[in-house]
Chains A and B, each alone.
Chain A
């Protein structure tokens, strides 16, 4: 991992850090809310990109972890745990458990069957929460306030909340980048490139893939905990299969295998959705063709178009 290959990522994060100051010249409250939401979904897309790009594990149920993280906040606050760090830890533990249980089954399948089984597990969780009337069922659950941070209600400011989300995203980015270049990351990537070769070297695909699912699930669950705080509301719709699909679209748009590309993909996707919603209610009629263009002409997505060399195997 050279510094030069990180140039696009550094520029991207610098831009995100400056965004709230630029937002002062516009509708600041609206832009900060949109910005925080974008960072949170970028965090989820980043974790999915790790799974897809490094492990070739195309999950169509990744939004389940957003739901797990969000409902962890609800359940924790019901139990009187109001600190976001404690809630995030609960979210990570719950996500790890879900990843271990579903991964144990799903990872026995490959290719399209893996995709189907992740979709099935995602839908099972979705309908479980739809049926839980104590948590509001289909209508969702409204939180009384945002979580506290270190005992104080520091997150009521949209400005502070934006930077918390940015810090989480940056931390996850650095962590995943390092994981990609580690011994573990090399094995995971080798299994993706050529499973037969990896097995002939003596590596078993299952433990590495399962660990990748745990890592990606834990990060997406943190995104879910942040999302609950951002909207102060949690609903099963957080983990609908459409949301899983959107996360996949973001990673493909940004360029599968490029971690900063996934962040950029999320930003572009949500900005487009927001801008196009001013023109039409049917934004996906316009986003659909864009995705087809990316799929046909630029398989490395935006990251491949902007920095062709930096989007190689090293992340």
Chain B
């Protein structure tokens, strides 16, 4: 069996005396959808930041696609195919939705040090960008500035940007945060549709979404991974129940 796409070992991060990530180890196999859950303050976003390179780890190793990427910065990790979305949608507000995605296509295709020639007229950038926008249901808003999109539309744009990068692993930081139930349902369907094409690691609060989507679930509490397993096993796990999951969510 080939080694897992992502393998982290003994990852740690402290802010002052507070251990936000405390000796965390796990693997994500190719083609899997893994979800990390945990109460507020469990250290989920910090872990995503460490994996994407936004935050440097104090200790531990991260192996991705057979390489030790622990010392690489965010842009280098992104170029290797480790791509993240942001909890607070980070789009380019002055660029149109299409330009946002076209820039992602540009990032993975050829040189960005071309000084002349209009990028807006390059069909090799625009066609894949439009395809990604169509996939997330945002084609109708392609020409609108990203800053003018609704919260839910910005989340969809984030996913379109991630898609256009053709990542080997997508890290989603609470993709459904702040969405209404209708938008969340659409988002769950979209990610379910992407499952067959991409390996994904998802940090999420919405339990229904997590249990509907994940192949494996890890539970973080106070920076420590207290459980790991298939959704049914996590649902039945006594430690998880007492530490985190309210009885009513499991009823």
Residues of A within 8 A of B (CB): 1, 178-179, 181-187, 189-190, 193-194, 196-204, 207-208, 211, 312-313
| Contact residues on B (Cβ < 8 Å of other chain), bracket | 35 or more
- Whole-angstrom CA separation of A225 from B99 in the bound complex: 38
Q: A201 touching B103 by the CB < 8 A rule? A: yes
Q: Which residues of B contact A178 (CB under 8 A)?
A: 115-118
Contact B115–A184 (Cβ < 8 Å): yes
Sample 19 A-B pairs with CB under 8 A, ordered by A number. A181-B118, A182-B115, A182-B119, A183-B114, A184-B114, A186-B102, A186-B112, A187-B103, A187-B112, A193-B94, A194-B92, A196-B86, A196-B90, A199-B75, A201-B75, A202-B76, A202-B79, A202-B165, A204-B75
**A196–B91 alpha-carbon span in the complex (Å):** 10
Q: Is the CB of A186 within 8 A of B107?
A: no
Tell yes or no: B74 within 8 A of A by CB. Answer: yes
B58 at the interface (CB under 8 A from A): no
Q: How far is the CB of B122 from the nearest CB of chain A, in Å?
A: 8
* CB under 8 Å from chain A, chain B span 89-112: 90-95, 99, 102-104, 106-108, 111-112
5 more CB-based (< 8 A) A-B contacts, given A193-B94, A194-B90, A196-B90? A184-B114, A184-B115, A187-B112, A189-B95, A193-B92
Please tell me which one of the listed residues A181, A194, A199 contacts residue B93 in the complex, with CB atoms under 8 A apart.
A194
Provide the bound-state CA to CA distance between A211 and B54, in Å.
24
Q: Residue B113 at the A interface, CB < 8 A?
A: yes
Q: Which one of A182, A183, A197 contacts B90 once the chains associate, using CB atoms below 8 Å?
A: A197
CB-based nearest A residue for B53: A199
Quick one: which of B84, B99, B106, B118 contacts A200, CB cutoff 8 A?
B84
Residues of B within 8 A of A183 (CB): 106, 111-114, 117, 119, 122
Known: A183-B119, A187-B103, A193-B95. A200 touches B86 (CB 8 A): yes
Q: Which of B78, B92, B99, B102 has the most CB of A within 10 A?
A: B92
Interface of A is mostly: helix
Known A179-B115, A182-B114, A182-B116; contact A202-B78, beta-carbon cutoff 8 A: yes
Chain B contacts to A: CB under 8 angstroms: 52, 54, 73-76, 78-79, 83-84, 86, 90-95, 99, 102-104, 106-108, 111-120, 122, 161, 165
Contact A190 B103 (CB under 8 A): yes
Chain A hits for B102, CB < 8 A: 186
A198–B117 alpha-carbon span in the complex (Å):
21
| Interface pair A186/B94, CB less than 8 Å apart | no
A218 CB, nearest partner CB in chain B, Å? 12
Which single residue of chain A is at the shortest CB-CB distance from B117?
Answer: A182
Query: In whole Å, how far is B161's beta carbon from the nearest beta carbon of chain A?
Result: 7
In the bound complex, residues from chain B placing their C-beta under 8 Å from that of A204 are: 73, 75
CA of A185 to CA of B92, assembled, Å: 14
Could you say which residues of chain B place their CB within 8 Å of the CB of A199? 73-75, 78
Q: B91 near A194 (CB under 8 angstroms)? A: yes
B59 CB, min distance to chain A CBs, angstroms: 23
- With A193-B92, A196-B90, A204-B75: A186-B103 Cβ-Cβ less than 8 Å: yes
A271 to B104, CA, bound (A): 45
Q: How far is the CB of A255 from chain B (nearest CB, A)?
A: 14
The 7 closest A-B pairs by CB, nearest first: A202-B78, A313-B94, A202-B79, A201-B107, A197-B90, A183-B114, A193-B92
- Smallest beta-carbon distance B177→chain A, Å: 17
A220 vs chain B, min Cβ distance (A): 17
- CB A260 to nearest CB in B, in angstroms, measures 18
* A203 pairs with B75, CB closer than 8 A: yes
Chain B CB within 10 Å, residue with most, of A182, A198, A211: A182
Given A196-B90, A197-B90, A202-B78, A186 and B119 touching (CB < 8 A)? yes
